[in-house]
Structure 1
Amino acid sequence: MTTIINAPAVTAPQELDRAPRPRRRTTPKFTLGRAMAWVALGAVMLITLIPFYWMLRTSFSTSTSLGSDPGSLLPVDFTFGAYERVLGLATPAEALAEGGSGASINFWVYLRNSLIVATVTTIGQVLFCSMAAYAFARLQWRGRDLVFSAFIAALMVPPIFTTIPNFVTIRELGLLNTYAGIILPTLLMTPFAIFFLRQFFLGISREVEEAAIIDGAGTLRRFFQVILPLGSAPIVTLAILTYITSWNEYFWPQLVGREEEVRVLTVALGVFRSQTPQGGPDWAGLMAATLIAALPILVMFIFLGRRVINSIGYSGVK
């Protein structure tokens, strides 16, 4: 007699039978703390934007009418006269008629000077600081850590302390009222830029550089063909920060670049502080000139601000 034993059917694991369920997006629940955070952020944003709006409102007003209604939230006697004075489109008589000082600036010459100074300074700092950061991060040489510590210590020295030595040096070299005199003190390198790039270069894989050494690449070739392409993100960030800082610089260009041929835009804005028929500064012209001078940098940061913040955060973590 043959006994047939039915083997139990092999069942697939229960987990395999279940189809993966799509994840549902959970909407954040409304809480009092979240609402207070949004209110606080909105208040901070409003406080930040109010000065820019007030500059815009003042620039579209006439200087004669600003004193009659100083608390108005809207432009008083709306006009484009201040912008015409800044761009050199108004005559002194027209400027005086609107309560301006009658002064005007050679806007395009000063804009050219600012572009030259900011561009040359940015190129020089990016090139020399990246080379110094590479030497501190990737090369082995005696006294490297000691020299780097000295650079870091320089971060704690206020820039105003080096103003007089720099001025004496520029004067002795005969570079007053020249582009070179304005650019040279910040052309080569700054401690922050070296520290910023060094932090990123430390995170680049050693294997990549060792492969280049096996291929026979020297130090300069490794720097330009390996390190710079891999470090393009922080280098672009440094270029943006340097350009903004150089564009907004006022004290040093005012000190060594008084001649009109090399005067930058930020220094040229001071002409609108001269006396008006009302006995005060040309506030409308000053605000219009300030907005025009800040517009290129503002647009640059709107489009590239996230990249700057991400690169700074990454370097800080590394």
Structure 2
Amino acid sequence: MRPGRVVAWAVVTVVVLVTVAPFAWMLRTALSDNRSLFTEPASPLPVDFTWGPLERVLGTATTAEAQAEGGSGASLRFWLYLRNSLLVSTLITVGQVFCAAMAAYAFARLRWPGRDRVFLVFLAGLLVPPVFTLLPNFVLIKELGLLNTHAGIVAPYLLMTPFAVFFLRQFFLGISREIEEAALIDGAGHARIFLRIILPMSGAPLATLAVLTFVNAWNEYFWPQLVGQEEGVRVLTVALGAFVSSTPQTGPDWAGLMAAALVAAVPTLLILLAFGRRIVDAIQYTGLK
């Protein structure tokens, strides 16, 4: 163990602790009694350990039980919001990955006038802050009559994004052209080559992009709140505000809020744990930093 290695491990340990600390504090708060939470604010362990906050989130606690532990007693239709989040995230992921793959194939494998210039203009979209497109998108969705619908939430993210196209294009450029030329000689068209050859060979980057897209769609908050205010289409991230807006006399239900945030983070954490290595390998392969 040389001094440099010791310093490197110390830095990595600090970074890991700083990264994990918010999740540990969220878990500690989610398992605490909301009325007793502020009696020991510095305690690293749950204060008066209870499953009550999780029961309130999952809808298994009665109103009397919720109020007894400092909850507001307001109902949280967790399973409805979870279904909405899964539906919206899945539609965005499927649509964006497939459309981005088609665009990336056109930019990487097809030859047409102005291809590189069009790609540079399209890539310039990465420089535009997303907040600049919120108002035009909102006006468009309103004019189409898609407010408070799943289609209105999904529409702005359904097609390809500059990052997704760039990510897949980098991989498609590395595929041998001999395979494509052999298919052309056998009479296959570009659509068949794309569907039967390119996509099956691109399983790793497609899976990686799907995971990244799903996580981003799952964590999206501002746009679903802007266009999906009705309870029937409300996603889980927006519904977490119910614990703050419905404030009992003793104060906000922070334990319930942390429990809801913990439950909402579980699907993305499971996905990242399952595909984390593939994401790192794919990003290294495409040359992204």
- Quote how far apart the aligned CAs of 1:277 are: 2.1
- Structure 2 length normalisation: TM-score? 0.97
Aligned with residue 155 of structure 1, among 126, 143, 147: 126
Cα distance in 1 between the residues matched to 2:117 and 2:14: 46
How far does the alpha carbon of each residue in 1:163-190 deviate from its partner, in whole angstroms, 9 at most, with x for none?
0000000000000000100001000110
Alignment of 1:159-238 (within 5 A): 159-238=130-209
Cα distance in 2 between the residues matched to 1:233 and 1:71: 44
Q: Which amino acid aligns with 1:203?
A: G
Q: Which moves more between the two structures, 211-220 or 142-151? A: 142-151
Which ranges of 4 or more aligned residues in structure 1 deviate by more than 3 Å? none
Aligned with residue 275 of structure 1, among 244, 247, 253: 247
Q: Which amino acid aligns with 1:253?
A: P
How far does the alpha carbon of each residue in 1:130-158 deviate from its partner, in whole angstroms, 9 at most, with x for none?
00000000111122112111111100000
Q: Which amino acid aligns with 1:52?
A: F
SS at match of 1:63: coil
Aligned with residue 257 of structure 2, among 286, 303, 306: 286
Q: Which amino acid aligns with 2:66?
A: A
Residue 305 of structure 1 corresponds to 276
Cα distance in 2 between the residues matched to 1:276 and 1:68: 18
| % identical equivalent positions | 64
Cα distance in 2 between the residues matched to 1:59 and 1:36: 35
Cα distance in 2 between the residues matched to 1:38 and 1:312: 24
SS at match of 1:67: helix
Q: Which amino acid aligns with 1:218?
A: G
Alignment of 1:4-83 (within 5 A): 30-83=1-54
Cα distance in 1 between the residues matched to 2:9 and 2:114: 51
Cα distance in 2 between the residues matched to 1:312 and 1:158: 23
Q: Which amino acid aligns with 1:177?
A: N
Q: Which structure exhibits the higher relative contact order, with contacts defined as CA atoms closer than 8 Å and separated by 6 or more residues?
A: 2
Residue 63 of structure 2 corresponds to 92
CA contact (8 A) 1:96 1:277 kept: no
Residue 13 of structure 1 corresponds to none
- Structure 1 length normalisation: TM-score? 0.89
- Quote how far apart the aligned CAs of 1:226 are: 1.1
CA contact (8 A) 1:60 1:75 kept: yes
- Quote how far apart the aligned CAs of 1:74 are: 1.1
Aligned with residue 105 of structure 2, among 112, 134, 144: 134
Cα distance in 2 between the residues matched to 1:219 and 1:159: 33
Q: Which amino acid aligns with 1:275?
A: T
C-alpha RMSD of matched pairs (Å) = 1.2
Q: Which structure 2 segments of 5+ residues have no match?
A: none
Cα distance in 2 between the residues matched to 1:32 and 1:166: 54
How far does the alpha carbon of each residue in 1:23-67 deviate from its partner, in whole angstroms, 9 at most, with x for none?
xxxxxxx21111121112111111111111111110111111011
- Quote how far apart the aligned CAs of 1:276 are: 2.2
More helix per residue: 1 or 2? 2
Could you say which structure has the larger radius of gyration?
Answer: 1
